[in-house]
A and B are shown apart, each in its own frame.
Chain A
Amino acid sequence: MQDLPWLLPAPQDYSAQCRAVLESAGDIGQDLQRLAGFRLSSPQALSYARLLRKLTVGGRDLSPLAPLKLAIVSNATMEFVADHLPAAAARHGVALEIVQAEFGLVMQEAIDPASRVNASGADAVLLAVDHRWLGLTDLGGDDAAQAGGAVAKLLEAARLFRDHGGAVPILPLLATPAESLFGSFDRRVAGSLASKISRVNQAILDFAEGEGGYLFDVDAIARSVGAAQWFDPVAWNGQKQPFHPAFNALYADRLGALLGAVRGKARKCLVLDLDNTLWGGAIGDDGLAGIVLGQGSAAGESFLNVQLTAKALKARGVILAVSSKNDDEVARSAFREHSEMILKESDIAVFQANWIDKASNLEGIAAALSLGLDALVLLDDNPAERAHVRSALPMVAVPELPNDPAWFPQVLLAAGYFETVSFGEDDVIRAASYAENAQRAEVLAKSRDLGDYLTALEMTLSCGPFDAANRARVTQLINKSNQFNLLTRKLTEADVQGLEADPAVVTLQARLGDRYGDMGLISVVTCRVDGREATVTDWLMSCRVLGRKVEEAIYDVLVSTLSGRGVETLHATYAPTKKNGMVAEHFDRLGLRRVAETVGGVRRYEASIADYVPPELPMKIELFQDVRTRG
C-alpha cells in the first residue's frame, strides 16, 4: 500500500502544471485539490510543496481548502517527509503551512514560551519522536520505570506546547522494531523493547483520552508495511531519517487524513456501484441465480467482504448510498431476495438504480442528503465510470481499484477517506436516521460538457454484417436484450442464419472496445430493404454502453449502408413492452420524425436519407466487412 494504489499516477508534465497554477488568476483551491489527487514521486511532491508555499506567502485565497498551521518537532530529520505533507493535506481538504523546528529540539521548543514553535501560532504540533528519543532499549531493566520515565518526558512536552502556544499536540503511537533477541520467548521476558514500547503507547492513549490531543498511529503504518521494512539503518545512520524514505508518501497521506479530519473534511457517504462491485456479474443480464456472491467461490467471498466492509463503515457512522446502471426493481430484487446479501435495502440511505449518468445521480444523492459533493466517495469497479465521474465531479473521491475485487476492501480503507478524530453514539444514530427507507432521489440527466472524457476513452466500434463465426453470440444478444430493444423480436439461430443469407436484409453487428478492454458484441440492427424504402426490423443494444454515442454511430453506419443501396426513406417502429420503456424516445433522439402513435404506445417513424446530417462522433468506426457490398 505504500504506493498509494487508490491514486492515479501523476501526468508527465506535473511540475509544469504546478507552475501554471501560479500564473492562474482564478479559483485555485480546486486546482490545488486536483493536483494533490495524484500519486506523486518525491520531486513531484516537492514541486507541489514549493507551489503551496509561494501561494501561502502570497496571501492567495485557497478555499475550499481549510488552512492549518502545523509545527513539527522531532529527534529525526523530517525534511524529506515534510516535502510530501502539503500535497497529502490538500488531498484531504487542508491547505497546510509547516513550521519546522530545528533538528533534535523537542524539549527546548516546548519549555521556552518564546520558542519558534510556541511563538508561531501553530494550530497543532506533531511530536514526531520515536523509541530512540525516549531512550528505550533492549538492555533490560524495569519495564515500568523505564517506560514510565520516558513517556512522562513526552507528555510533559505535549502539555507545555499546549499551555505555552495553544497548539494541540499530535502524539504518535510508536512503532516497534522487528528485531528480537529471543525470538518467540521475547514476549515472556521482562525488559524487552517491545514491552516497553507497548507500555508507552498505552500511556499515550490514556493521555489522549484524559487530557485531549490527537493520536497519530505510526505503529499501524509501520505494521502495514512491516516493521522490518519500516526502520532502515542506512537511512537512520546516514541522515537520521526516522524510517525508510520509500514510506514518506504513505506517512504523509496518513497524517493528511488526520489533519483533514481535524478540519472536518473527512468524507461522510460511501456510494456503491452494484454490478461487479457488490456482487460478480450483472443482475440485469444474469438474474438472481446468476450473480456471484457467497461462500461457494473465491470471487463470491470477495464480494461478501466488500459488503461487510460497507456494513462496518455504516456502523461507524458512514452513510451508504447506491448508484447503479440498472432497472430499479431489478436492482432492489437482489437486496430483497438474494440469500447471500449482507446489505439490506434498509442499510441504504439513497438508492439510485436507473439509466441516467452517474454524475447526475451523485449530485442527486448529495442533494438528498444535504451534503456537499466533497463528502462523497464512489466505489466502482468500472474504470470508464470512474473516469466519467472524476471528469464531471472532481470533488467526489473516486479511488482507483485493482482488477481483482479481493483487494477492494483494503484499497478503500487504505485511502483513509473516513478518518475521524471523534466518535460517539450520535454519529451512529445520525447515520442510521438517514437510511430510513432507501429513498429514491429524482434526478435529471444534465447535459454536461465532459470535455475530452469520451474521446479519452479511445473507443473503436467495429461493425459488419452477420457472419457464421458470430452467429451464436448474435442470437444470444437478440434474445437476452429486453431493455434496450426497440421491437423485441425473439429469433432462433436458424432465423439469424436466414437473415444472414437474405439479400433483402441489411444486417449489422457491432463490437466496442476502449482503452480499458474489449466489451465484445454490444449491438445488433437489422433492416429490410424494399426498393427505395427500408424498415428497421431489429434494433437492440447492451445497456453497458449507454452514454457513449454508440446509437448515433450505428445509425451513421446504417444510413451510409442504405444510401449505398439507393434507399431514400427509412421507416422504424418502437413497440413498447413492460421492459423497454427506456427506448421510447430512441428514434426521436436519432432525429427520425414521429409520424404516428397508437393508443397502445406503438410509435412509428420516418426519415429521409438525403436529409441525414452526420454528427461528430467520439469513436473510431471500423467496418470489418464492408456492410455495403453485401447482396
Chain B
Amino acid sequence: MSATRGSTGAAGGNGTGMPDRPALVLRGLEKSFGDVLAVDGVDLEVRQGEFITLLGPSGSGKTTTLRMIAGFTRQTAGTIEIDGVDMSHVPPHRRDVGMIFQNYALFPHMTAAENIAFPLQMRKAGGTEIKRRVAEALALVKLEGFGGRYPRQLSGGQQQRIALARAVVFHPRLLLMDEPLGALDKKLREALQLEVMHISRQLGATVVYVTHDQEEALVMSDRIAIFSRGRIEQLGRGDDLYERPVSLFVADFIGESNILRGRFERDGDGGWLARDDVRWRVGAVQVERAALAGGSQAALVVRPERLRIVGLSDPAAAAPRVNVVDAAVRDALYLGSIRKYELTLPDGQAVAVRRQVGGGEREWQPGDQVALIWAVDDAVLVSAPGG
C-alpha cells in the first residue's frame, strides 16, 4: 500500500530527492530537559511519500520528536537527516519543512491568501507566480473565494484547511502535523482526516503526523510509531500493531484488548500460560515472537472479536487448538451492528466480547454461565512483568 503511494509523488515536493532515498532518517535522537529524558533514543526511517504517525499518550515524547524534526527544539544527541541532508544543526527556516499546528497558527493580521503567499514571498517568488500558486492551493483545499477573508472570519475547519494550504504551497520536503485536528469536533475531524489524507496523497507529500487518537492514526497512516516514555515501542502498519502487538502497552493502546496474565511455560511445540488451576495453549509462532524465558510473567492478549461464547458443555470447547475459560455474563449490550458482552472470570477479572449481529449465533443473557473460547493462534503472547 505504502509503496504505491511513494511512487505517485510526481506532483509533490520530492523532486530533489532520489525516489529510493528515505525522506527522513532519525538516528539515536535524544532530548533531555534537565534531568528528564523526554526523548530517549529514537530511530526512524520514513520513505518518500509515506504517511507516518507518531502515536502515544501525552508526555511520551512524540511532540518533542516532531519539534526536533522541525528544528524548533535542538536535540541533545542524535542526528536528523531530511532527504539525505543532515539537518541536525540547521535552523528551522532553512529546513524546508511545512508545519501544521493544533491551533492553526494563521497570522491574524494577514488574509487567508496573504498567509498562503507568505512562504512563497520568503522564497522570493514572483508576483504572478505567487498569485497562481495561492489560487491553486486555495482550490486544493476547496476554499476558492475565501482568499480575502481574515482568519477570524473563518471557522475552525476552514482555518485548518488554510493552514494546510500554507504548509504545502511551497512543496516542502516534509509535512509535519502536530495534532492538527485536535481542536475540532468529532464529525469535522473525521471529514478532515480523509481530506488531509487525500490531499497529502495527491501531492505525494511525506507526512509525519502526531496524534494521541489511535483511531485517527489507524485511519490515516501507512505506518504508525507507538511512543512510550520517550521511545518507539513498536513501529508498523495498523494491522501489525493490532494483530501483533509486541508489548502490553501497545496491546492496551491500540484497540480494545483482553489481557490474561499468568506464568509462561515452554514445551516442545510452543508453550502454555498457566494461571491458578487453568492453563492455556500458546502457539509456536507466538512463543517464538515473544522470545520469553520459561517461568517468566507473561500475558495473553485476545481481541474482543476473537472470543466466542459457548455453552458449558459445547463440543467446540473441546476442539483441538482451542483455549477455554469459564465465565459469567454480566451485561449483554446491543449496539446495532454488533453485540457487546461484558463477562466476569471466576477470579473477578472483566472480559469484553464483541460479536457481529446476524451471524446466527445464540444470544446470551446476563447471569448465564458460559465458556469463553478462542483459537490458539488468535492470542498474542507478551511479557507482563510485575503481573
Q: Do A and B bind each other?
A: no
Residues of B that sit less than 8 Å from A by CB: none
